[in-house]
A and B are shown apart, each in its own frame.
Chain A
Amino acid sequence: MNFLEKLLALDRRIIFLFIAIAVALPLFFTVKLHIEVTPVVRNLHNALEALPPGSKVLVSLDYDPGSMPELQPMAESFFRYCFMRDLKIIIIGLWPNGPIQANSALEVILNEPDIKKKNPKYGMDYVNLGYTAGNEVVIERMGSDIPVTFPKDYSGNKTEDIPLMKGVKNFNNIDFVYNLSAGYPGTVEWVLFGVDPYKIKLGAGNTAVQAPQIYPYLNSGQLVGLLGGMKGGAEFEIATGHPAKAVKFMFSQSVSHALICFFILIGNFAYFATRKKKGA
């Protein structure tokens, strides 16, 4: 068995080990990578920049801890941006864990010095309306009546008594919708049941697995902008001028991708070289 044949029969655990090292080692280094903000992320940022202070932004967190590494940095950077710009945040979840993820992101952001100075108040500057069952039907129902769909907030306060919710009847009173999605129900349902029937302005952050499915909605203008995976999150952090977790992880991501590309190339080379030999 020559070297190339040995390579083809390589124990997959050795590859796992290499990947683990490629992911872990870069985490110890702070390398400034040049991260280009792509048009899809730039469009989302521009749409948010166009909102005047005091605008109401509905954030739907439709994911669970399984997608945290990709979507949590997006949630944190979005909340940070909203607080800095004095945008009012209304949080909901079509997934039961969504509002819990929101609270965990808020806990991080509200403890940052810049945000502490702003001193955002619950009920005035942000509110968490929690989760309600019904998947896409929830979106449909919000189109006619948000307080009926979410009669109480996450802590059990009556929605109609919350100052931020005064005058919020349906999507007509929401200036922008931002959806963080890891599957069903998520961005597709927001487009189908929110964008087209109610003409809401929608921006989204998705897991990378889901992103290719969402791209057609960008070309058609049904979606204002999209953050695709951790890379999209990093671009948004750059666009908002506050590099954080996603940017920090990009070096690790780049090294691991380079290693995978190397394995794909070498694997293909070994395969074709040995096949030629066998054929001869």
Chain B
Amino acid sequence: METIGIWIAALLTLGIFSFLYKDNPFYKFCESLFVGISAGYWFVTTFWQVFMPKLADNLIAGRFYYMIGAIFGVLMLLRLFPKIGWLSRWSLALVVGTTAGLYFTRYLVSNGMVQVQNTIIPLYVKGNLSQTIGNLVIVIGTFSGLIYFFFSKEHKGAFGGLAKLGIWFLMLSFGASFGYTVMSRMSLLIGRMDYLLGTWLGLIR
């Protein structure tokens, strides 16, 4: 049974890879199969891991206040009926309001306050050149990056120079992100190659 599974996985991988040559029916089949199985898998997962334990089990246990959530859930589904679809906005309003409230404070602290606090660092660290350079890069990079996004003043003269420096810092960060993305994609390819050549064909140990 495991062998059949390995063969199916390997052939489906090859099917998806075949798109690199050109679009073909084998690829279309693999793609459709993936979409269909994913949808089915998510439906089953949602039913057994969300609907049953979070709602049904609680209602069975007599915790009827869970009906409030259930009603809002049903309202969301009313989008399917144009005449009363506006009722779904109540559920959406609840979700948007709660999420905004929850994230406002968290982002303000973790991504705002703490990050700002960690940009206020000494520009010179005695006896530690690399730390000094690192701190300078952080402070100058943050400052010039912020200047670049300040559009209320024309980017000219010293201000323009700082904005240009900000672009350089941004470009460097985009380059680093691109490098990491390449690394990530290569890792995925390595994983599949290892599966095909090792697990499937047994050519590598």
Contact = CB atoms under 8 A, between A and B. Distances in A.
Interface of A: 13, 16, 19-20, 23-24, 27-28, 66-70, 96, 130-133, 136-137, 140, 151-152, 191-193, 195-197, 207-209, 211-212, 216-217, 219-222, 228-231, 249, 252-253, 256-257, 260
A186 B204 CA distance: 34
A229 B197 CA distance: 22
A24 B193 contact: yes
Interface stretch (B25-33, B110-118, B145-153, B157-165): B110-118
A253 B20 contact: no
B49 A132 contact: yes
A185 B1 CA distance: 34
Given A28-B203, A212-B176, A252 B184 contact: no
B109 interface: yes
4 tightest Cβ-Cβ pairs between the two chains A and B: A69-B191, A208-B184, A220-B118, A192-B106
B24 interface: no
Contacts of A230: 183, 187, 190
A249 B118 contact: no
A231 B183 contact: yes
Nearest to A29: B204
B106 A212 contact: no
B180 A212 contact: yes
Contacts of B114: 196, 220, 222
Contacts of B188: 66-67, 69-70
Contacts of B180: 208-209, 211-212, 228-229
Dominant secondary structure at the A interface: helix
Given A16-B20, A220-B118, A228-B180, A212 B190 contact: no
B122 interface: no
A33 to B, nearest CB: 14
B186 A256 contact: yes
Contact of B197 (A24, A132, A217, A260): A24
B49 A133 contact: yes
Q: Which of A208, A228, A252, A256 has the largest count of B CB atoms less than 10 A from its CB? A: A208
B189 A19 contact: yes
B182 to A, nearest CB: 6
B175 to A, nearest CB: 10
Interface string B121-139: 0000000000000000010
A96 B44 CA distance: 11
Given A70-B187, A132-B49, A209-B181, A221 B110 contact: no
Nearest to A15: B20
Nearest to B180: A208
A152 B52 CA distance: 13
Contacts of B117: 220
10 contacts: A13-B20, A23-B190, A27-B190, A27-B194, A69-B192, A96-B45, A96-B49, A152-B53, A192-B110, A222-B110
A216 B138 CA distance: 10
A182 B120 CA distance: 31
A133 B186 contact: no
Nearest to B138: A219
B5 to A, nearest CB: 13
Given A220-B118, A249-B194, A257 B182 contact: yes
A229 B184 CA distance: 6
A133 B191 contact: no
Nearest to A19: B189
B198 interface: yes
Nearest to B182: A260
